[in-house]
Structure 1
């Protein structure tokens, strides 16, 4: 961080302190439903003063999830959230909110900033989010703050998700749970929270596994989280430790003709992902005076990620450039080339060639710290809350990829031949450094008792340094800077009704992974290798939003009701997308695609009357290209002779359903017995590689789930859940690829990931 930045922020903090000393007694804003307004935990604002349609998962919903992932619960409850089964593994979905993604998969257009107790969860190497590393049992509350949100830093193009984790002050008691179900599924979880005087402790551990309903698709996930917190009269502080370990098999999309024969069939295997994470984060809050307070947070996070992917190969005995005993790429064609191993030796044809085993190893160490000051005192006699802060995040990544020549076996698994391919096309050694500095402010001014004006802004400076350890093609040093503003109004028409409107801007700097794979002449066998380093422009988003919300409840708590209506629009400038190259399924490069536009409407209603509860959430999200653009999609049957498709302005983007509806209800039959049902309906969506709409879409579908829980004793209960009760056949993700390399008789280039069939869960849990 520069001396100039430190001087400016230090001066501003001094001014805040002087304002607290000069001001009169602070005017505290009533906080009923408090929403975190910055990445640093410990500071929030009343939901009624927020100029946006904030959507939340509270403790009651998370508690009833019984170990379900946070991403699953978000999809079940929130209308603008949809999941795509991009990798074919339920633990690692791609989450879309208002058409912006938070995904584990490189190649997805990322656009949500995700925080856990002030720790940035987006991986610095590719802005990825590994959802299976989030311990859902330890989440106390999850809020999605929509729209381009500058305060939350880079990648908050479509909004920010803030997860508040449990502490000994928010959770008390002991709970254990064990469950099993279809396809070898099993879960176990234990958690305990307690408070002794000014000290609170929380600890939890969970384990999940399954054999998988598709062929050769077992998975294991282990999570642990602990928190120690102290709360005094003038301050508080806490320390959290997290651990996650997963071994996942995601066999991805399969050709539609193969799925027609068997829904559980996989194209090629293995397709394994091994993740491990350890994190330590600290937070503190100090009340200097009745009106001035300081909040701070810091974190350390180390994530290792290994993959093993079996793919079909197009190698064979040389015909022109070398003896037939040697192995060549594109044998018999004009660009035939003899293959060599990592030591420069010729590879013999006996090593195989019909298959490849691709391996990657990614290790990222992230550090970050934030400091902010909050001043709550009148300005010109008007209530005002001012926040000023600065942050720095740094991530260092070691990336390695290699490819082994193999043979495609009868069951379409790949056996290795022992020869590791050489040259930078198949072997990558990359180091990257991501450093981001931000200075931000947020000010909420009560113009009247009912009208609140919120102004905010942030300066972002992001540096991305790439060091090629195998050659020189990947070397690069990139710098991205921007100032993003935001403004909004919230008007409390009456105690039960609030109107709001807002505007905001945010930016996302290209990640190291994107900058290393941006040359169409040298596409990547994504995500297994990076081959070039031309520049990409940063993405800038501008969003508007307006709406109404209301809530009411009986004084005796016998009923409660809340609802919201919101319209929104966000335009991305220089959006970054992944384009297929046609040189194998999953091969391509990143590019700026000009403007994209996401506009829509949300309507939500939820409540409870006595033993009956309900929720209804509808969303219309129209995500389109906002200019004409030509994209390469050679496997698309509508592509021209060069393999290009013309995408017109207004054409819907792939993978995002326009309409989605979530609804559910619960009924307490007695004090011991409760039943619930929920359903999700989605309209059709386009396949990746078909943004021009030339091919068949993924059809719309609905999924209905049912659950019941019965108390066996004062502290124990049994539950049963049925997912996909109607056993619908559906697909949430698809793309264009080449199936003929494995199945010469297949003529359809569509690949799809099948949705899981009907499955059952049954378990016991006890609370003490």
Structure 2
């Protein structure tokens, strides 16, 4: 397809610039499914004109979420979505879609752009997505637009997720829900929406937590969301306020030999994460004429992220002076430890453990403005959109390490001695700035054939300032134009064929650029040591498929299905490579090409009191060139700690096959029962890209739920997760357990999946 490939890809933008008239109610037209395909709210396109296999969660599914999070629902209901319990906390999973990640964990290769009411949710310092900060109860609709998508800016390598939040026009009334369950779980949610003439108001608050099923793993989370919207004859505008605060424990993977003794066992502690975010976002849509409209969005977001992590350590008495501590005593890298004042550390501090603390404080702000012209060209219906956007992030990152000692319960006790030198103390400022200029055009060549074209120019700047020394100082610039194009053809009123091509890019984040030197591996994500440059990641994707929808005139039944094939190649993909000095220590590097190819098939419908859904996905995520990677804890590594990864070798953490299915049945007008199940094939461990060791085994999880109406306004529900109490693991890596357990010889670490658990509660709506 040439260096740039076929011009433009798979994304069309059609502005729906229709404001409600004074005092009029919004009317929902049956079977017209409009997808938001721009970061600016108020712009969208009919699903039938999308040249890709768009998947989503509608309000009915989200309203029945009960104790589930947005990420849980995406995994249960949508194809090509899987979760990895990277950190060991159900509120903070790593989500993979078609082999591209949206994760709260630094070190995961990020590849999805996530938006909430036009606000970019990816944190600028590491492109992280903190899923627990998204209030599920306030999400009105969530869509995943697959494939390299230039319109959504940086990081949309595998697609973009767009969340439309509730307003007083989409939700009216008052609803309250209270639930409790296994392992000390509890959840309470209250929300209210109303509209009065041209104004709509919505507000919601939620609080939840649990003691956790693993040892020493309590978590607590609070969320709030509010929105006010005005709808006039020519202008629609809204303002949203969001707040979240979490205190989570994620004890991560444990050695497999320890898990054989106890599934709830943890390796070391403490391991906590505290997040607090507050954001304000605005949106507007002005109809300048009958054919020309102006849309805009702006946001400000502050996120503070703190971690406290206890690890085993190998410090001990120096070979040349038994009264002071050295790292790697008697080894090739032996060096005496000093505190923040430059004093040597006495052996009384012990050094068998270390407590790492980090704090990341980020202010993000951005704005987008676009014009939409809906006017025929040569007698053909055409919509042209041109826009520009700017996103900035200002981050202050600090980390420090305290000498500790390993206790009998494998927790780490502190000594009060804070270590100095850049290996253990980091203090940096990062400034990210991205400017984008884009356009899109949707041209109806015939009543059945639609051509969509889009393109975006991205210019990104990352500036690092080392506040402790000079090693991290740096200025990095990246730019690229990404094209896209697609076709849809309506074979019949119920059947549509589509095909598309697109490109996108991702600039290396400040966190990656600060830890990209093989000679100076980082205790990631606790310390950064140097600032060499990395190349930006460029993705190119193709997709083709069919979809169909039909519905009875009397609404007694409905049916929808889709079949799609896709492929995406990443150039200069960035991977985190373990150095082997300790678990979690390593560096980022460009590892060449990676390839994701696959197939998606889905079927869903409703017939009378019965509903169902089935989603099958085949995702083959592989290296697309030969490469040598460091993985010294892998038993199959060579004498230098390297593994040779051949082209076609599967990437870690991504199951090739997944199948999700579920059904619901209304036994009576008051009693509903539901069941869903997910099946996943095996996946490789991180650090085993060459496939030299055992895989994580495939597994299946069944869930069941029932809800009974106690009155017109109240109902009771019961949900059972992992009904068959299946033992499984969704994440694993290679590490070294011998620093804590000298009797353990297996270097595999795994995060165990949660056992059977129950949710029960009451819900009332007035």
Question: What is the TM-score with the length of structure 2 in the denominator?
Answer: 0.96
Do the aligned partners of 1:147 and 1:504 also contact (CA within 8 Å) in 2?
yes
- CA deviations 1:509-556 (Å, max 9, x no partner) are 000000000001111101101011110000000000000000000011
Task: Give 2:424's aligned residue.
Answer: 426
How do 1:174-189 residues align onto structure 2 when only pairs under 5 Å count?
A: 174-189=174-189
How do 1:24-173 residues align onto structure 2 when only pairs under 5 Å count?
A: 32-173=32-173
1:31 Cα shift? Answer: 8.7
How do 1:617-766 residues align onto structure 2 when only pairs under 5 Å count?
A: 617-766=615-764
Q: Does 1:319 align with 2:319?
A: yes
The 3-state SS of whatever aligns with 1:258 is helix
Task: Give 2:530's aligned residue.
Answer: 532
Rounded to whole Å, the distance in 1 between the matches of 2:373 and 2:681 is 47
- Stretches (4+) displaced over 4 A: none
1:67 Cα shift? Answer: 4.1
From 543, 546, 549, the equivalent of 1:545 is 543
Rounded to whole Å, the distance in 2 between the matches of 1:256 and 1:516 is 32
How do 1:119-518 residues align onto structure 2 when only pairs under 5 Å count?
A: 119-320=119-320, 323-518=321-516
Task: Give 2:26's aligned residue.
Answer: none
When residues 48 and 137 of structure 1 are mapped into structure 2, their CA distance, relative to the original with a 3 A threshold, is same
Task: Give 1:573's aligned residue.
Answer: 571
1:325 Cα shift? Answer: 1.1
Runs of 5+ consecutive residues of structure 1 not aligned to the other structure: 1-28
Do the aligned partners of 1:632 and 1:643 also contact (CA within 8 Å) in 2?
yes
1:334 Cα shift? Answer: 3.3
The 3-state SS of whatever aligns with 1:740 is helix
Rounded to whole Å, the distance in 2 between the matches of 1:220 and 1:673 is 32
Do the aligned partners of 2:86 and 2:94 also contact (CA within 8 Å) in 1?
yes
1:335 Cα shift? Answer: 2.8
- CA deviations 1:651-673 (Å, max 9, x no partner) are 00000000000000000000000
1:488 Cα shift? Answer: 0.1
Report how many aligned residue pairs link the two structures. Answer: 739
Do the aligned partners of 1:67 and 1:136 also contact (CA within 8 Å) in 2?
no
The 3-state SS of whatever aligns with 2:51 is coil
Do the aligned partners of 1:446 and 1:453 also contact (CA within 8 Å) in 2?
yes
Rounded to whole Å, the distance in 2 between the matches of 1:169 and 1:334 is 67
Moved more, 219-228 or 65-74: 65-74
Runs of 5+ consecutive residues of structure 2 not aligned to the other structure: 1-28
Please tell me the root mean square deviation across aligned C-alpha atoms, in Å.
Answer: 1.0
The 3-state SS of whatever aligns with 2:650 is coil
The 3-state SS of whatever aligns with 1:89 is coil
Rounded to whole Å, the distance in 2 between the matches of 1:304 and 1:334 is 39
Rounded to whole Å, the distance in 1 between the matches of 2:44 and 2:350 is 60
Rounded to whole Å, the distance in 2 between the matches of 1:166 and 1:68 is 18
Do the aligned partners of 2:614 and 2:662 also contact (CA within 8 Å) in 1?
yes
Do the aligned partners of 1:67 and 1:137 also contact (CA within 8 Å) in 2?
no
Rounded to whole Å, the distance in 1 between the matches of 2:334 and 2:564 is 57
Rounded to whole Å, the distance in 1 between the matches of 2:240 and 2:136 is 15
- CA deviations 1:321-346 (Å, max 9, x no partner) are xx211111111223321111000011
When residues 709 and 30 of structure 1 are mapped into structure 2, their CA distance, relative to the original with a 3 A threshold, is closer
Task: Give 1:599's aligned residue.
Answer: 597
The 3-state SS of whatever aligns with 1:42 is coil
1:735 Cα shift? Answer: 0.1
Do the aligned partners of 1:306 and 1:361 also contact (CA within 8 Å) in 2?
yes
1:68 Cα shift? Answer: 1.4
Do the aligned partners of 1:31 and 1:46 also contact (CA within 8 Å) in 2?
no
Rounded to whole Å, the distance in 2 between the matches of 1:716 and 1:63 is 14
Question: What is the TM-score with the length of structure 1 in the denominator?
Answer: 0.96
Rounded to whole Å, the distance in 1 between the matches of 2:424 and 2:575 is 23
Task: Give 1:13's aligned residue.
Answer: none
How do 1:13-24 residues align onto structure 2 when only pairs under 5 Å count?
A: none
Rounded to whole Å, the distance in 1 between the matches of 2:49 and 2:79 is 22
Task: Give 2:7's aligned residue.
Answer: none
Do the aligned partners of 1:30 and 1:46 also contact (CA within 8 Å) in 2?
no
- CA deviations 1:176-218 (Å, max 9, x no partner) are 0000000000000000000000000000000110000000000
Do the aligned partners of 1:729 and 1:755 also contact (CA within 8 Å) in 2?
yes
Do the aligned partners of 1:608 and 1:614 also contact (CA within 8 Å) in 2?
yes
Do the aligned partners of 2:67 and 2:759 also contact (CA within 8 Å) in 1?
no
Rounded to whole Å, the distance in 2 between the matches of 1:412 and 1:729 is 24
Do the aligned partners of 1:718 and 1:763 also contact (CA within 8 Å) in 2?
yes
1:317 Cα shift? Answer: 1.1
Task: Give 2:19's aligned residue.
Answer: none
Do the aligned partners of 1:431 and 1:468 also contact (CA within 8 Å) in 2?
yes
